[in-house]
Structure 1
Amino acid sequence: MYQLNVKKFGLALGLTGALLYLGCILVMATMGREGTVLFFNSLLHGLDTSTIIRMDIPLWEAGLGLAQTFIIAWLIGACVAGFYNVTVKAK
């Protein structure tokens, strides 16, 4: 069976997570508070996010969140690829 490249899979998942984070920033920047709440309420199956949405996020905090999201997603991707490689039978 084919083995996954752990670093490349981690990078792919990390970049995907960062892209989703940037999408969230874009939603918040363009839709305003009410649009953001409506978007995330519908995305989360009607969960009321109005009490947890914070719109006054400083740029440094958004950058830190972007970096943290990338790192966490990279680690998850590396773990998935590593676990997959351990369980796949070599030819």
Structure 2
Amino acid sequence: MYRLNIKKLGFAFGLTGALIYLGCMIVMVTAGKEGSIAFFNSLLHGLDTSNIIRMDVSLLEAFFGIIQMFILWWLIGACIAVFYNVHLKNK
């Protein structure tokens, strides 16, 4: 079995999370409020998102959201790699 590179897997997860966040932003900009509600309601199996969707997000807030998402998913990917590698050592 191969060991996972912790930094590379973390980076891959981080970029994926940032791309998902960016995709969400694109949906909200192009579809508008009602279209976003319909999209996310169908994506979340009918969960009503009308009360939580906010369209007045500033560019600075969106920028910090992408950075936070990258950091969060980097940590998740790094943890997965660490746990995987530790499991290999125990066998």
Residue 10 (structure 1) aligns with: 10
Q: Classify the secondary structure of the residue corresponding to 1:4.
A: coil
| Residue identity matched to 1:82 | V
Q: Which whole-Å CA distance do the structure 1 matches of 2:16 and 2:53 have between them?
A: 22
Deviation at 1:37, TM superposition (A): 0.2
RMSD: 1.3
| Residue identity matched to 2:9 | F
Deviations, residues 5-35 of structure 1 (Å, cap 9, x unaligned): 0000000000000000000000000000000
Deviations, residues 43-91 of structure 1 (Å, cap 9, x unaligned): 0000000000000000000000000000000000000000000001489
Residues 1-91 of structure 1: pairs in structure 2 closer than 5 A: 1-89=1-89
Q: Which whole-Å CA distance do the structure 2 matches of 1:89 and 1:74 have between them?
A: 23
Provide the identity percentage: 67
Q: Which whole-Å CA distance do the structure 2 matches of 1:39 and 1:53 have between them?
A: 11
Gapped regions of structure 2 (runs ≥ 5): none
- TM-score, normalising length: structure 2: 0.97
Q: Which whole-Å CA distance do the structure 1 matches of 2:72 and 2:28 have between them?
A: 22
Aligned residues: 91
- TM-score, normalising length: structure 1: 0.97
After TM superposition, what 4+ stretches of structure 1 lie above 3 angstroms from structure 2? none
Q: Which whole-Å CA distance do the structure 1 matches of 2:17 and 2:44 have between them?
A: 17
